[in-house]
Amino acid sequence: EMAQVCADSGADIVLMHMRGEPRTMQRDTSYEDLLGEVLEYLAARVKIAVQGGVSPTCITVDPGLGFGKAWVDNARIIAGLKHFRSLGVPVLVGASRKRFIGALTGQTQPSDRVFGSVGAALAATEAGADILRVHDVAATREALAVFLPCRHVESPL
């Protein structure tokens, strides 16, 4: 029924992958085909939303970093974002301050994960993310202000 409610309201929606529910999502983080399973899940949700009357222009997908995934899976998802582009809708990535960044950097406090979060945002941008959910807006914006133009400048060598 949620698809119909969203369709009737004309609201934009974000469809996110999560295994289980917040209380149980980290109990089983093993996947036979991580990208394939997450992609299949999101494709099915997009189909349900569209069949319920939601315009594809109102849909964004989020592979759900940190939601039922091992820390290394989050890095794999970022590296494989191009696969989610096949859904034909924008891709959102919310890596900011996540536990996997702490696992990679050794930072135990989320507030100390700014540099790692910016790194994840740049990696996600390079891999095809359309939207970034971040805590440290100024740091991420400044990094992107340098990173984005540098991606398209030819080397003088």
Phi, psi dihedral angles at 59 (to 5 degrees): -110, 135
Kindly tell me if the per-residue pLDDT of 58 is higher than 90. yes
Q: What is the pTM of this model?
A: 0.92
Residue in 47, 135, 36 with CA at minimum distance from that of residue 88: 47
To the query of whether residue 98 is one of the catalytic residues in this protein, the response is yes
When pLDDT is cut at 50, 70 and 90, the band that residue 113 belongs to is very high
Share of the chain above pLDDT 90, in %: 86
- So what's the pLDDT on residue 20? 81
- So what's the pLDDT on residue 24? 84
Residue pair 87/112 in contact (Cβ under 8 Å)? The answer is: no
To the query of whether residue 99 is one of the catalytic residues in this protein, the response is no
- So what's the pLDDT on residue 40? 98
pLDDT digit string, tens, across residues 114-133 = 999 999 999 999 999 999 99
Residue tagged active-site, from 19, 69, 98, 113: 98
Q: What angle do CA 132, 89, 3 make, to 5 degrees?
A: 105
Kindly tell me if the per-residue pLDDT of 21 is higher than 90. no
- Which position has the token pair 């990679």? 104
Residue tagged active-site, from 76, 85, 99, 133: 133
Residue pair 38/63 in contact (Cβ under 8 Å)? The answer is: yes
Q: How far is CA 150 from CA 32, 35, 97, 117, 127, in A?
A: 37, 29, 25, 20, 15
Residue pair 75/116 in contact (Cβ under 8 Å)? The answer is: no
- Which position has the token pair 């540098």? 150
Kindly tell me if the per-residue pLDDT of 156 is higher than 80. no
- So what's the pLDDT on residue 23? 86
With a CB cutoff of 8 Å and minimum separation 6, the contacts of 50 are 56, 59
When pLDDT is cut at 50, 70 and 90, the band that residue 154 belongs to is confident
